[in-house]
Chain A
Amino acid sequence: MDIEDYIDSGILELYVAGALSEKENQEVYALMQKHPEILDEVLKIEAAIKTLTEAASPDKTQAFDTVKVRLGLEDTDHKVITLKPKTRYKWYSFTGWAACILFAIGFFWLANENNQLKNQISTTQSTNEFLEFQIEKANKSLTESKKLIAVLRDRNIISVPLAGQAVYPDAYAKVYWDKSNNNIYLDVQGLPTPPEGKVYQVWSLKLNPLTPTSLGTLDNFKTDENKIFTIENANDSEAFGITLEPAGGSESPTLDQLYTLGTVTATS
């Protein structure tokens, strides 16, 4: 039998169409098993008819699910078994996640709160320190003021005003001399802040002949708050003067830098 003639006869097209008798169908099947060319031809005819008939369908057809539902292929027993753990799983999962999120939020809130409290403690501590410092300062200031008042009220104390000189006429200062303990209290509030690298030097003077004796330099002029300096003075001073000298002080006063000068009055 000639295979090509057989194929050309058109019997395979009728086979796919279902237009052959049962006997003919069995013959074609038997030949298909024997001759792969015949099987191949049948597959191609079938593919062509499948494509053609598909093209006659106006739109996408419904999914298999509808058929499955109509056949009841989604077994109810099966459904119960699969659904139950599914919902339970969902419930657990949901609660788990919710708890987790709540916990995380709580944790962050507490951590934040803790941080804020720590900050507050730290702020309070520094405020406390600051206040303690202020109290200490106030106490000290009070002590100094009391001491100052005591000095001013002491009748044994000689007050010597020092007037501004040519270099800086607005300058003034005052010496309170406590002869009983050989101390002078020098109030230099009326002196300008010395320029960088310069320092005020205090002198005790004898007038005849003019003999200056250095009582020391006011090194911490800038930082001293009440601008009152306690200086030891065992001299028999007749006058006091303050000059501006290079840092460290000088051996003898630079007279053209004499800022203030005042004599001790005989009556005092």
Chain B
Amino acid sequence: MHLDLLVEKFQQQDVKAFESLYNMYSKSMHGVIYNIVRDYDLAEEVMQDVFIKAWHNASNYSIEKGRFFTWILNIARNAAIDKTRSKSFKNTSKNLNAEFFVDILQDQDNLDNKTDALGIKKYVSKLASKCIEVIELLYFKGYTQKEASETLDMPIGTIKTRNRNCINELRLMLKI
């Protein structure tokens, strides 16, 4: 089914459509959340919370405001960051800034794209460290262009073009 139609049905509280979207994006969201909370079970719990929230707030989504993927990615990042700020999470104290997403990448053969059997980790690890930084901040952490430019101490325009080049490199590796 066409994605737009699926999202439309989901907004009309169609459970089947919801399930399809869940199957499409739950793993991605789990990856993003896991990169932030670094706890498998917790990431699973937050990921489910994200989809429950998405279901309840389905009417808030509008295709003109952005991609459905981006919308749910945003909910996921916010939910994960909220979790890290909670009291219970702080008590378990984890050094979250020490690692980038590359460290947790898994070699999997069930990725639904044309990923080479050699493994995504091998490829992505080859990305320049400046690429890994920018991807981490923009996609995994949900930084705005401005926040990223401040964090990495580089002009906004440079963030934009560097990110473009890095994503192109990634796409080349993934053959997308």
Where the two chains meet, the residues of A that have a C-beta atom closer than 8 Å to any C-beta of B are 8-11, 13-20, 22, 25-26, 29, 42, 44-62, 64, 66-68, 70-71, 73
Instruction: Determine if B151 is an interface residue (Cβ-Cβ < 8 Å).
Output: no
Where the two chains meet, the residues of B that have a C-beta atom closer than 8 Å to any C-beta of A are 15, 18-19, 22-23, 25-32, 34-35, 40, 43-44, 47-48, 51-52, 55, 63-67, 69-71, 73-74, 101, 104-108, 111-113, 115, 120-121, 124, 135, 138-140, 142-145, 148, 160-165, 167, 170-171, 174, 176
> Which applies to chain A's interface (DSSP): helix, strand, loop or mixed?
helix
* Residue among A26, A45, A61 with most chain B CB within 10 A: A61
Which residues of B have CB within 8 Å of A73? 15, 18
Q: How far is the CB of A144 from chain B (nearest CB, A)?
A: 101
Contact status of A48 and B167, CB under 8 A, knowing A19-B138, A61-B27, A61-B44: yes
CA A200 to CA B100, docked complex, whole Å: 125
Nearest neighbor of A50 in chain B, beta-carbon distance: B28
B111, A25: Cβ atoms closer than 8 Å: no
Known: A17-B139, A56-B104, A73-B15. 10 other contacts (CB 8 A): A45-B167, A46-B67, A51-B112, A54-B28, A54-B108, A54-B111, A55-B105, A56-B35, A57-B27, A61-B47
Which residues of B have CB within 8 Å of A67? 22, 48, 51-52, 55
Which residues of B have CB within 8 Å of A52? 31, 101, 120, 124, 135, 139, 170, 174
Contact status of A56 and B65, CB under 8 A, knowing A14-B145, A17-B138: no
A25, B65: Cβ atoms closer than 8 Å: yes
Contact status of A19 and B23, CB under 8 A, knowing A56-B104, A70-B48: no
Among the listed A19, A20, A51, A61, which residue makes an inter-chain contact with B26, where contact means beta carbons less than 8 Å apart? Answer: A61
Nearest neighbor of B66 in chain A, beta-carbon distance: A25
Q: Jot down 16 A-B pairs with beta carbons below 8 A, ordered by A.
A: A8-B164, A10-B161, A13-B138, A48-B113, A48-B170, A48-B171, A49-B28, A49-B69, A52-B31, A52-B124, A52-B139, A52-B174, A55-B106, A55-B111, A56-B31, A61-B26
A57, B28: Cβ atoms closer than 8 Å: yes
CA A259 to CA B78, docked complex, whole Å: 132
A14, B163: Cβ atoms closer than 8 Å: yes
Nearest neighbor of A9 in chain B, beta-carbon distance: B160
Among the listed A44, A54, A64, which residue makes an inter-chain contact with B176, where contact means beta carbons less than 8 Å apart? Answer: A44
Which residues of B have CB within 8 Å of A10? 160-165
Nearest neighbor of B50 in chain A, beta-carbon distance: A67
B142, A18: Cβ atoms closer than 8 Å: yes
A59, B111: Cβ atoms closer than 8 Å: no
Which residues of A have CB within 8 Å of B140? 53, 56
B15, A14: Cβ atoms closer than 8 Å: no
Nearest neighbor of B21 in chain A, beta-carbon distance: A64
Which residues of B have CB within 8 Å of A71? 52, 55
CA A11 to CA B26, docked complex, whole Å: 26
In the A-B complex, the 5 residue pairs with the closest CB atoms: A10-B164, A56-B31, A57-B31, A10-B160, A57-B30
A68, B15: Cβ atoms closer than 8 Å: yes
CA A13 to CA B149, docked complex, whole Å: 15
B67, A19: Cβ atoms closer than 8 Å: no
CA A58 to CA B104, docked complex, whole Å: 7
Nearest neighbor of A56 in chain B, beta-carbon distance: B31
Which residues of B have CB within 8 Å of A14? 138, 145, 160, 163
B65, A26: Cβ atoms closer than 8 Å: yes
Which residues of A have CB within 8 Å of B27? 54, 57, 60-61
CA A13 to CA B131, docked complex, whole Å: 13
Contact status of A51 and B115, CB under 8 A, knowing A42-B67, A57-B27, A57-B34: yes
A19, B145: Cβ atoms closer than 8 Å: yes
Nearest neighbor of A66 in chain B, beta-carbon distance: B48
